[in-house]
Amino acid sequence: MEDWASSRVALVTGGGRRVGKAIATALHKSGYKVVIHCNSSKDAALEFANELNSQRSDTAFVVSGDLSKDVVDTCRRLVKEATEKWGRLDLLVNNASLFFLTPLDTATDQQWNQLMDTNLKAPYFLAQAASPHLRKTKGSIINMCDIIGEQASPPLTIYGISKAALIMTTKNLAIELGPEVRVNYICPGAVMWPEVEKEHHDDSFRNEWLSRTPLNAIGTGENVADAVLFLASPSSSYMTGSCIRICGGRSLRL
């Protein structure tokens, strides 16, 4: 357990499974108390929280809500529940995200709104709700972006637009919330293949993706969690508005 983390509280959205679970696990292991947000995976999140609480009593807590519906009210409620549990908040990790294909010919208004609300609007209004608490603790925000937010990759077009906008949101919030709160972002590449249309993420797609990844490997949730720990720690105390790419070099030739 790290001394710097032992009294701190983190809220991780989408923290009950996949990359979010790896992030919450790493934060908890370092000494954080973790608030695990979930939506459809509440049973898995509760089981995960029980597991963490068995390791250290009263150190994990679950909050739930659909970040694509009633976004502002949902964000305010989640932060309220998170801060009431232990009376403070030191870290917000905006990890929850929707990911699906939106070819131009078939993209819909509903798809646009779902992706923008979950991937962009929710992180912004979670930051708004959390910022008074984070200012008190001189905490930080880490936004989970994507290398597809930096370079085009259709037909993930609307997803990419949402992540590009989240990158710019991060940079603006770093200015608005400084010097008390640091705001940084992580851009993963092929980290835990997403659960998306099989005809897109088939073996040929994966082989082609890896052929242009210099490290020729798929990343793990733990790789991303290591970057989160670094950005949350005193070791990154002079970083804000900055990015860490966890992509095996894939962004060099997307």
List active site positions.
159
d(CA 22, CA 36) in angstroms, rounded, equals 11
d(CA 83, CA 80) in angstroms, rounded, equals 5
d(CA 44, CA 201) in angstroms, rounded, equals 25
Q: DSSP alpha helices (H): ranges in the chain? A: 18-30, 42-55, 71-86, 109-116, 122-137, 157-177, 203-211, 221-232
d(CA 98, CA 75) in angstroms, rounded, equals 16
d(CA 108, CA 106) in angstroms, rounded, equals 6
Encoded tokens for 152 = 């085009």
* Non-local CB neighbours of 165 within 8 Å, separated by 6+ positions: 116, 120, 149
